[in-house]
Homo-oligomer: A and B are copies of this chain.
Amino acid sequence: MKVVSTSKSHGGVQGVYSHASEVCACDMTFAVFVPPQAKDGPVPVLWYLSGLTCTHANVMDKGEYRRVAAELGIVIVCPDTSPRGSDIPDEKDNWQFGCGAGFYLDATQEPYARNYRMYTYVTAELPALVAANFDVDMSRQSIFGHSMGGHGALTIALKNPERFKSCSAFAPITQPSTAGWSRPALEKYLGSDEKSWRPYDATLLIEDGCRFDAFLVDQGTADGFLQDGLRPWLLDEACKKAGIELALRMQEGYDHSYNFISTFMEDHLKWHSRHLA
């Protein structure tokens, strides 16, 4: 693991690190905020998964999580959203596929299967690296994210309910296999047999029997992707049918940007902190 940069913030340290990822077969960069409490022993870990077009840096710059994470004593880890590099297959003019759009799945189709393995990366390789290099209590983990990353958090929590104490999302995609902006990506990564998409679709995972104790979801009513891309009512229906507790909060007038995320960041961190306690 290489230290790219560290900077003191709110009494803790905001760092950026890189490493040669075996899973993604390329160098990967990620951000870690370590709160001041880490000096006194292992602290819990909260994973933040970002949305389409983002790197590790967007939420680090604009998410405003450090003040509250420093108060609550939580490590925040922010992975990238895809493999990157000059030899990584990509569609440079398509922001909904390839670099910046890994969808937190393990691709099975060529030429993507070798690098686009973000599910294994964020659930296995990166956690092992974080556990080895930071003083974290891996028995206390939670996960959240935004948009594509909010959906990533939901699916990863549903498939690993024993690992995560809580899961929340800002404006998550809820059913990527039926949304116009994500169907083409699923097909290119996973092939045309839609059965293979179900393990990477939050509402279909619930339909197929996956369960999680409780979700918190914030969604802005002025979000331009609400009606076609995000559709939180699909998650609401799926959770109601399955008996999963979902606090879905429609936030009047908020859009899809980090102005929305940063407004409700404190709520989410406090909610996770209660579950991590």
A residues contacting B by CB (< 8 A) are: 7-11, 14, 61-62, 64, 66-67, 220, 222, 253-255, 257-260, 262-263, 266
Give every chain B residue within 8 A of A254 (Cβ-Cβ).
Answer: 8
B62, A259: Cβ atoms closer than 8 Å: no
B259, A14: Cβ atoms closer than 8 Å: yes
Q: In the complex the two chains form, what is the Cα distance from A216 to B7 in whole Å?
A: 23
A7, B62: Cβ atoms closer than 8 Å: no
For A259, give its contact among B9, B222, B255, B257 (CB under 8 Å).
B9
Q: In the complex the two chains form, what is the Cα distance from A11 to B262 in whole Å?
A: 12
The count of identical subunits is 2
> Interface SS of chain A: helix, strand, loop or mixed?
mixed
Closest to A10 in B: B263
> 14 A–B contact pairs at CB < 8 A?
A7-B260, A8-B222, A8-B259, A8-B260, A8-B263, A10-B262, A10-B263, A61-B61, A64-B64, A64-B67, A66-B259, A66-B263, A67-B263, A67-B266
Closest to A11 in B: B263
Give every chain B residue within 8 A of A14 (Cβ-Cβ).
Answer: 259
Give every chain B residue within 8 A of A255 (Cβ-Cβ).
Answer: 7-8
What is the minimal beta-carbon distance from A222 to any residue of chain B, in angstroms? Answer: 7
**9 nearest A-B pairs in the assembled complex, by CB-CB distance:** A9-B259, A7-B259, A8-B253, A10-B263, A64-B64, A8-B254, A61-B62, A7-B257, A7-B255
Closest to A251 in B: B8
Q: In the complex the two chains form, what is the Cα distance from A61 to B258 in whole Å?
A: 9
A260, B62: Cβ atoms closer than 8 Å: no
Q: In the complex the two chains form, what is the Cα distance from A9 to B10 in whole Å?
A: 22
Give every chain B residue within 8 A of A64 (Cβ-Cβ).
Answer: 64, 67, 262
Q: In the complex the two chains form, what is the Cα distance from A259 to B253 in whole Å?
A: 29
Q: In the complex the two chains form, what is the Cα distance from A102 to B9 in whole Å?
A: 28
For A9, give its contact among B11, B61, B260, B266 (CB under 8 Å).
B260
Give 16 A-B pairs besides A8-B222, A14-B259, A66-B262 with Cβ atoms closer than 8 angstroms: A7-B257, A7-B259, A7-B260, A8-B220, A8-B253, A8-B255, A8-B259, A8-B263, A9-B259, A9-B262, A9-B263, A10-B262, A10-B263, A64-B64, A64-B67, A67-B266
Closest to A252 in B: B8
